Amino acid sequence: MALAYGGFTVNQDLKGLIPNQDIDLRYLLYHMQADEHKVLATCMKSGTTVESINFGALQNFVIKLPPLPEQRAIAQRLDQLLASEARAAACVTAAQTELRRLRAAILARAFSGERKEVLLWP
């Protein structure tokens, strides 16, 4: 799922939603992402060789729609929380990379002949 601003083209395997009322598009995106399993359970076409969505069923999918100012506030808060999550994920990835580098350095030093003894326990 993604947002597209302005004109865009899709093929037969993609679906584009254009709301017919005032709705914050980020709120709609987050809501659809949160309800992805419900959307798939409700709108998945059966009997096809490629998984796809029944667009008629998707058009009839009901979502909770608070007033527009509340939608905007929810979307803004989710933007902030997901940005924090992305920063945390980047820190975890950097730490994992550093741990792999440290492990490789420890192993290289252990078998390079620099030390005659390697302590296995402190």
* Complete DSSP assignment for 60-118: T-------HHHHHHHHHHHHHHHHHHHHHHHHHHHHHHHHHHHHHHHHHHHTTTS-S--
User: Model confidence over 62-96: pLDDT tens digits?
Assistant: 888 999 999 999 999 999 999 999 999 999 999 99
| Percent of residues, the chain, with pLDDT higher than 70 | 88
User: Model confidence over 37-64: pLDDT tens digits?
Assistant: 988 888 887 765 667 777 888 888 888 8
